[in-house]
Amino acid sequence: MKRAPRATLPKAPHWERYALDWDLLGPPLRPSPEDVAIYEHAVAGLGRRPQALLLGVTPEIAAMHWPPGTRVVAIDRSAAMIAHVWPARGREHGAAVRGDWLNLPLAAASQDIVIGDSPLHQGYPHEQRAALASFRRVLSPEGLFVARYFCAPDRPETPAEVFADLLAGRIGSFHAFKWRLAMALQRTAGEGVAWGAIWEAWHAEVRDPEALMRALGWPAAQLRTIDVYRGATARISFPTYAEAQALLGEAFAPLQKIVPRYELGERCPIVIARPR
């Protein structure tokens, strides 16, 4: 079967290209309404006018229901994500700035909540440990850390198993497939997987991506969301939940783990914790 033409994308760093296609993404790569409801419930008891740090510019979190007068500052490394994804531009009590999560430009103990959608996805364990220490530094003693994790399954899958389920129609969305494939390609959390390797595995296995998308009833436009990975050398890490919990416990005392009910929800738990 003839391979379909590959999409032509602008030459730009991975996250800048990702920002341009943000609206094509869906759960589990973006929060679902169920996730948002969990986030809202977590922050509901913070009292009036709390100070919140949003890790990244996730629009579902930025635009959710916050306690009255909440002041939200979002910090993201990518100027493109801020420019194209941040939804609260010009809104009172909301601002997005460019910065490094490992060196947050905020005073110690200045935040009532630190919240993010998968803020721990690189450099397991050393970079993730440093990030957690940075989050802990800016959080007030009675504050809350709330984050959705992307966790590898306890029993690793093989890429062949993932592609078999794909071709048999046993995967509900292209986004769930991409995450299963990424986790299957990872050998250890410490090694992680290069974004570009996900694209390479997809194109090595699927001869005609557009025909497959039609057969599965998935929008062909979503192919762009894997094409942005092409050639990207940055790596993403998927620890198991046990590995993630052990690392979190060095700086935080976990209070609750909530597992959403959507596809791959067991790999996307939301954790609520307090600083130690």
Q: For position 8, what pLDDT does the model report? A: 35
CATH code linked to domain 33-151+239-275: 3.40.50.150
pLDDT digits (tens, 9 = 90+) for 113-144: 999 999 998 899 999 999 999 999 999 999 99
- pLDDT under 50: residue ranges of the chain: 1-12
**C-beta separation of 111 from 52 below 8 A:** yes
Q: What is the domain partition of the chain in residue ranges?
A: 33-151+239-275, 153-236
DSSP run (H or E) holding 201: helix 195-205
Q: For position 88, what pLDDT does the model report? A: 66
**What CA–CA distances, in Å, run from 4 to 37, 213, 216, 240, 243?**
40, 11, 16, 36, 40
